[in-house]
Amino acid sequence: MKKIACFVILSIIISSSLWADEGMWLLTQLDQLDLQKKGLKLKVDEIYNPQKPSVADAIIWLGGCSASFVSPDGLMLTNHHCAHGALQRASTEGTDYIKNGFLAQTRADELEAKGVTASVLQEMKDVTNEVLKAAEGIKDPVERQKKIDAKIVEMTDKIEGDKEDVRAQIVAMYNGKQYLLFVYKRYQDVRIVYAPPQAIGNYGGDIDNWMWPRHTGDFTFMRVYMAPDESGAKYSPDNVPVKPKNYLPVAKDFLKEGDLTFILGYPGYTTRWRTSNSVGWNLKYNYPETVKDFQEIIDLLDNLTKDSEEGKIKVANTRAGLANTMKNFQGRIECMTKSNFLQQKIDFEKELMAYINSDKKLKKEYGNVLDKIKALYDKLALTKEKDDVIRMFGFSGILASLGREIYGVAKEREKPDDKRDPNFTEKGVQRTVERLHLRYYSYYEPTDKAMLKRVLEKANALPEALRIKGLEYIFSNKSQPLDDFVNDAYAESKLSDVEYAKPLFEKSVKELEALNDPFIKMAAMTYEEREDNDDRYDEFAANITELRKEYLNALLAWKGKGLYPDANGTMRFTSGPVAGYQHADAVWYQPFTTLQGVIDKNTGVEPFDMPPKLADLHAKKDFGKWADPRLKDVPVAFTHICDITGGNSGSAVMNAKGELIGLAFDGNYEAMTSDWQYDNNMQRTISVDIHYVLFVTEKFAGADYILKEMGLK
């Protein structure tokens, strides 16, 4: 691992004096940011305007990634790694679209992106009063949260009705101090137009992941389709390209250091307003244990697929996700440790409590909030070892996971209404069944077996007081080694057949238990302990949410107003200039990389196995109009001061005029604590330059028609 500098200066300032470029801001907060003073040429209502077309209308939510429309015919641009799952599902032995890429010569040749849906924001509304009214007078945090969840389901179901192309979400902001409704148009027919080969789209692989300087062409073109009646119908040959309200024009000018950029996208989750207890829990337990677990699973996947092309394709998406998260967590551990982040957080809280305790009224309201939060974490720690293994079953293979899910649906149905999980709906079950076949694209029996065996071994190693009693029927049978149990389970179960599995979601508990399926039996035997685990974590979540609201109130009492909410999968705005950064003492990183850097890294061996055609194009200076006169080369990627996190992958990066200049795809390793604390001096967004995207598309792939559609030829 590279030795890097991690500079984290804890400075939570909740006021108008926030760093100018900090924050993942809601679209309704843009008028607070003085964007014109920073150099923005657009008006705020040109970025977001519920009454007329705006930039926000071109932004797409892909679930775990972001994207944008770039033509009037539904052409969409996102990251290569955001299309990775769709490329995997389209691949077969002998046809590897991840490794070799894909280009549709005509629209009729475009490849169905199975499992991908594109959602476009239609409405955003504050519904705080309506949501909280449902829980008025309820003091118990768990019951209060259940009432809130039930109200949210009621409200969103009413909006969605039986319309498959409408998706409604009500999302908590500031730990439940505010609730916002987001309504989306959901398009279910997305197709791959052009994806570069892995040697461009993921050049540098795991080695370069989260690192700067970066030289990957992390992009893929897709197209969004709709039915002729403009509904977001499922895939059909009769569907037609979407006509978006707006699409992004491509910037003609090249970026230079200091230029303003801004991003609209869907960042996942941040924890900026958490306490030292949460930092300590993650630094000491969650991150190290996850790194260890994920490395074990990656090694397992690699070993069992090294001689199988089919196996490599099947596990590709799972492996990529594990590796990405693992390296992110490694970076967080390293940066938190080097910067003494936990102690900084503790010292900050001492200052906060000194202020709170200096005022009798504030002391009465918030004086014990940190102690109460600590008590919740202390209670959670009592069963942590067992809880961790129970959660590990999420990585016990597809068939074991299906057994738990099928049995869980049946158990939920048989509960009285007042005891049922408020988030359980028949509509949700139906959606699960409709998308069930997608899971089987990642099913490879040798790795599935090995993952189950691994988790069972972890369970069998638990101390006596923390053992999962529902699994003792496996471990107590000394005449049947664990390998035999696993092999017999896969031989006896029919869950490997998706058509067999689908109707099981309609069966009762009694009917399921009568099947004597080994995976459903395992789910039944462990159900009560898993429910107990869920109940304890629900109790923790409900109580910690209330206390975190108190903590936020204490911060506001100390520092004032102007707080942006933590990221939570909703559309956000962030802006800042193109800038390099100081990597270490006497080491300054420039903000641009070029095609020459791609060539310099080339070894001919994966993941630095650059396609020879790129070198030929560079040698001939056959750059078209995509070379930056200042750099005298094609720009590949750039760093800029924007505040992003996971989920922003594929987000459109725009210049001051609202023109597309790149796609965000990563953050820098030196700032891996960014989900916890923003650092203006160190945190950088890494984006692929639109000129490299277009150079590869035109000169490498010969896909001139894509550029014509974008109005560039």
Last residue of a domain, one of 559, 589, 621: 559
Residues with Cβ < 8 Å from 292, sequence gap 6 or more? none
Joined together, the tokens standing for residue 508 give 């009762």
Within-domain flag for 387: yes
Sign of the torsion formed by the C-alpha atoms of 478, 482, 486 and 488: negative
Closest to 405 measured CA to CA, from 374, 378, 428, 372: 428
Of the candidates 21, 57, 165, 218, the residue annotated as catalytic is 218
Within-domain flag for 472: yes
Element containing residue 362 per DSSP (H, E):
helix 360-366
The pLDDT score that the predictor gives to residue 17 is 37
Joined together, the tokens standing for residue 200 give 């461009």
Tens of pLDDT, residues 224-280: 999 999 999 999 999 999 999 999 999 999 999 999 999 999 999 999 999 999 999
- 610 and 697 Cβ atoms separated by less than 8 Å: no
**Would you call 228 exposed, middle or buried from its count of C-beta atoms within 10 A (0-12, 13-18, 19+)?**
exposed
Of the candidates 54, 57, 71, 81, the residue annotated as catalytic is 81
DSSP 24-79: -B-GGGGGGS-GGGGT--S-HHHH--TTS--GGGGEEE-SSSEEEE-STT-EEEE-
Last residue of a domain, one of 559, 574, 595: 559
The pLDDT score that the predictor gives to residue 562 is 67
| Burial call 266-284: b when 16+ CB within 10 Å, e when fewer | bbbebbbbbbbbbbbbbbe
Tens of pLDDT, residues 506-561: 999 999 999 999 999 999 999 999 999 999 999 999 999 999 999 999 999 998 76
d(CA 702, CA 696): 8
Within-domain flag for 354: no
Closest to 174 measured CA to CA, from 691, 548, 662: 548
Within-domain flag for 314: no
The pLDDT score that the predictor gives to residue 351 is 96
Of the candidates 54, 649, 651, 687, the residue annotated as catalytic is 649
Sign of the torsion formed by the C-alpha atoms of 457, 458, 463 and 467: negative
Joined together, the tokens standing for residue 632 give 């005298």
Within-domain flag for 686: no
Q: What is the 8-class DSSP label of residue 264? A: E
User: If you search the block for the tokens 């389901």, which residue do you land on?
Assistant: 153
The pLDDT score that the predictor gives to residue 8 is 57
| 34 a catalytic residue | no
Cβ count near 487 (within 10 Å):
13
The pLDDT score that the predictor gives to residue 619 is 97
Within-domain flag for 589: no
Residues of the chain under the 70 pLDDT cut? 1-5, 7-21, 561-562
| 649 a catalytic residue | yes
Cβ count near 478 (within 10 Å):
6
The pLDDT score that the predictor gives to residue 4 is 54
Give 134's Cβ-side CA count (13 Å radius).
Answer: 18
3-state secondary structure of 475: helix
Element containing residue 636 per DSSP (H, E):
strand 635-640
Give 215's Cβ-side CA count (13 Å radius).
Answer: 21
Within-domain flag for 389: yes
Q: Which residue segment(s) compose the domain that 164 sits in? A: 122-184
d(CA 676, CA 451): 32
d(CA 305, CA 286): 28
Q: How many domains does one find in the chain?
A: 2
The pLDDT score that the predictor gives to residue 563 is 77
Sign of the torsion formed by the C-alpha atoms of 134, 138, 140 and 141: positive
3-state secondary structure of 572: strand
Closest to 328 measured CA to CA, from 205, 207, 209: 209
Tens of pLDDT, residues 102-159: 999 999 999 999 999 999 999 999 999 999 999 999 999 999 999 999 999 999 999 9
Within-domain flag for 400: yes
User: If you search the block for the tokens 């939060």, which residue do you land on?
Assistant: 373
Cβ count near 410 (within 10 Å):
21
The pLDDT score that the predictor gives to residue 382 is 94
- 2 and 208 Cβ atoms separated by less than 8 Å: no
Last residue of a domain, one of 559, 589, 612: 559
3-state secondary structure of 655: strand
| 437 a catalytic residue | no
0.75 exceeded by pTM: yes
Q: Please, what is the angle between helix 445-460 and helix 287-305, to 10°? A: 140
